[in-house]
């Protein structure tokens, strides 16, 4: 028999505490498999689930690379299942750059501060709070739901979601849709005619694909005092310059068009996609910091992120390397790779280190309808719009099983918060009120989806 005090704890009552606790566990993933791993974070989640009578499965792809799953049967067992997932790892944080200890989980100015607050221990806490509420109250979600907390998302998911999809696909059997991070947050834009603030929630329905590449230039080694026409560093620099100067053509995919159409309707600002000379810059400016994600989805991109060459001042090295992070729109993978190989030139080899597909899910769907109803129950005057993410999520791995993924980590944000730059940025933080809002919305979504 449950004590009354236990059943009265709502998801919004404990979500901030859960978020702060998770931030205090430094599950840093630098991409070299040398960090602390996700084990302590997974153990914290497992303990929180054991407290309410659940028995999650905890698995490791290698020592300390830990993921966790738990399934709750739905009220409508004949319907396809749902996956609700987060990742437990975070990117590194350079503490001297921060106003607070990035792993303190400190509450200041109405926000929980720390690495992972927005990417994505805030959503992990919302998921965990909702699972605990289901278990405490004996309620069941509408659909049989697998809740997953993955390792290794910040390094592509090979030790996390991709490993689980390959080694434990039974956990996702019967599921057709999934929700996770980087969607469902609000932006505040001026309404047409009045200029009054109007919130729009951006649901992520698409995401670009990933090509992580190494450029390896070959040349002739020699003494630094001897002229040469085969300097590997120069050849690499020339390849980088060509890649940087390449004008990737602009293309407005369906999710981007849907976002622009919705913003145009709200603000009254027109735009013209079919006119190559017309850029909807005025609409993007209304998105504030969120335009960073959106501007990256208007075309394919390729950015050089690392360089390595040479070992002594007076020695011309035989080779030089650079890392390139290329992101492509749905259907563009082969063209982007062939373009980069051509731009690299005959003396520079292009090696594919990691690749993952682009995703595109329909906005006109029942699951988006459940998102809309859940958000409007808390914010009746809001608009719900689609968008494409310039980065990637663990939904890519689940797509290998035919599961369509969406970004829906609902947060009602104050208009002055610089939200999107906090992904992998400094002074990452999330308002407590936003977490509480998100916990209420997510719990209602599970009842409706």
Choosing from 339, 356, 373, the residue where a domain stops is 356
pLDDT score, position 294:
86
Cα–Cα distance between 272 and 297 in angstroms, integer? Answer: 17
Q: Report the alpha-carbon angle 120-122-123, nearest 5.
A: 70
Judge if 329 and 369 occupy the same domain.
Answer: no
DSSP-based three-state secondary structure for 108: strand
- Domain-located, residue 180: yes
Judge if 331 and 424 occupy the same domain.
Answer: no
Q: What are phi and psi of 430, to 5 degrees?
A: -140, 135
Count: domains in the chain: 2
Choosing from 317, 333, 356, the residue where a domain stops is 356
pLDDT score, position 3:
45
- Domain-located, residue 110: yes
What Rg do the C-alpha atoms of the chain give, in angstroms?
23
User: What tokens does 403 get?
Assistant: 């599961």
Q: What is the DSSP string of 9-24?
A: --HHHHHHHHHHHHHT
Cα–Cα distance between 335 and 312 in angstroms, integer? Answer: 38
- The structure's pTM equals 0.93
pLDDT score, position 323:
98
In this structure, what CATH number is given to the domain that contains residue 337?
A: 3.30.70.360
User: What tokens does 126 get?
Assistant: 């919302």
Judge if 309 and 170 occupy the same domain.
Answer: no
Judge if 8 and 136 occupy the same domain.
Answer: yes
- Domain-located, residue 203: no
Cα–Cα distance between 408 and 291 in angstroms, integer? Answer: 18
Residue 313: C-alpha distances to residues 223, 316, 318, 391 (Å): 10, 8, 14, 38
Give the strand pairing for 175-180 and 81-87. Answer: parallel
Judge if 10 and 102 occupy the same domain.
Answer: yes
Cα–Cα distance between 67 and 57 in angstroms, integer? Answer: 8
Q: What are phi and psi of 295, to 5 degrees?
A: -60, -30
Cα–Cα distance between 253 and 241 in angstroms, integer? Answer: 28
Judge if 352 and 365 occupy the same domain.
Answer: no
DSSP-based three-state secondary structure for 349: strand
How many C-beta atoms surround the C-beta of residue 283 within 10 A?
22
In this structure, what CATH number is given to the domain that contains residue 106?
A: 3.40.630.10
Which structural domain, as residue segments, surrounds residue 92? 4-188+359-448
Cα–Cα distance between 429 and 121 in angstroms, integer? Answer: 11
pLDDT score, position 7:
58
- Domain-located, residue 315: yes
pLDDT score, position 2:
42
Question: Left, alpha or beta for 125 (phi > 0: left; psi -120 to 50: alpha)?
Answer: alpha
pLDDT score, position 291:
86
Give the orientation angle of helix 39-50 with respect to helix 11-23, to 10 degrees: 150
Residue 151: C-alpha distances to residues 64, 336, 426, 448 (Å): 9, 29, 22, 28
Q: What is the DSSP string of 352-395?
A: EEEEE--EE--SSSHHHHHHHHHHHHH-TT-EEEEEEESS--TH
- Domain-located, residue 264: no
User: What tokens does 187 get?
Assistant: 């932006």
Judge if 146 and 8 occupy the same domain.
Answer: yes
- Domain-located, residue 33: yes
The pLDDT averaged over each successive group of 10 residues in the chain (449 residues) is 61 98 97 89 98 98 97 96 98 97 98 98 98 97 98 95 97 98 94 90 97 97 95 98 96 93 92 72 85 89 96 96 97 97 97 95 97 98 96 95 98 94 96 98 97
Displacement of CA 233 from its chain's centroid (Å): 34
- Domain-located, residue 296: no
Choosing from 356, 375, 395, the residue where a domain stops is 356
Judge if 158 and 44 occupy the same domain.
Answer: yes
Judge if 44 and 120 occupy the same domain.
Answer: yes
- Domain-located, residue 380: yes
Judge if 70 and 36 occupy the same domain.
Answer: yes
Nearest Cα residue to 46 out of 63, 38, 58: 58
Judge if 351 and 385 occupy the same domain.
Answer: no
Judge if 147 and 9 occupy the same domain.
Answer: yes
């Amino acid at each position: 028999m449950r004590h009354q005090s236990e059943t009265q704890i709502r998801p919004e009552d404990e979500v901030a505490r859960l978020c702060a606790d998770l931030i205090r566990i430094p599950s840093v993933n630098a991409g070299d498999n040398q960090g602390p791993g996700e084990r302590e974070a997974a153990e914290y989640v497992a303990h929180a689930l054991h407290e309410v009578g659940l028995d999650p499965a905890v698995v490791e792809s290698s020592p300390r690379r830990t993921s966790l799953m738990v399934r709750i049967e739905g009220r409508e067992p004949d319907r396809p299942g749902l996956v609700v997932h987060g990742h437990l790892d975070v990117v590194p944080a350079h503490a001297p750059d921060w106003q607070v200890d990035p792993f303190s989980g400190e509450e200041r100015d109405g926000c929980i501060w720390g690495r992972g607050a927005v990417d994505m221990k805030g959503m992990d806490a919302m998921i965990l709070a909702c699972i605990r509420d289901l278990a405490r109250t004996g309620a069941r979600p509408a659909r049989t739901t697998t809740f997953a907390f993955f390792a290794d998302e910040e390094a592509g998911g090979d030790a996390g979601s991709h490993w689980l999809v390959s080694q434990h696909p039974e956990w996702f059997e019967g599921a057709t849709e999934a929700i996770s991070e980087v969607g469902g947050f609000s932006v505040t834009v001026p309404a047409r005619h009045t200029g009054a603030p109007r919130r729009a929630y951006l649901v992520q329905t698409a995401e670009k694909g990933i090509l992580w590449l190494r450029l390896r230039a070959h040349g002739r080694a020699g003494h630094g005092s001897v002229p040469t026409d085969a300097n590997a560093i120069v050849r690499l620099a020339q390849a980088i310059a060509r890649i940087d100067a390449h004008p990737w053509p602009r293309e407005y995919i369906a999710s981007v068009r849907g976002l622009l159409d919705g913003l145009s309707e709200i603000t009254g600002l027109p735009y013209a996609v079919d006119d190559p000379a017309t850029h909807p810059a005025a609409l993007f400016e209304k998105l504030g910091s969120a335009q960073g994600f959106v501007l990256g989805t208007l075309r394919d991109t390729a950015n050089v992120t690392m360089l390595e060459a040479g070992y002594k001042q007076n020695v011309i090295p035989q080779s030089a390397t650079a890392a390139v992070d290329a992101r492509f729109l749905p259907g563009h993978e082969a063209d982007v790779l062939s373009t980069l190989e051509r731009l690299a030139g005959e003396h520079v080899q292009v090696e594919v280190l990691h690749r993952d597909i682009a995703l595109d899910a329909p906005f006109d769907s029942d699951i988006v309808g459940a998102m809309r109803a859940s958000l409007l129950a808390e914010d009746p005057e809001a608009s719900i719009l689609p968008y494409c993410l310039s980065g990637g999520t663990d939904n890519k791995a689940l797509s290998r099983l035919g599961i369509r993924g969406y970004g829906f980590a609902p947060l009602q944000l104050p208009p002055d918060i610089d939200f999107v730059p906090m992904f992998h940025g400094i002074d990452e933080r999330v308002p407590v009120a936003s977490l509480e809002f998100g916990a209420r919305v997510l719990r209602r979504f599970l009842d409706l989806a």
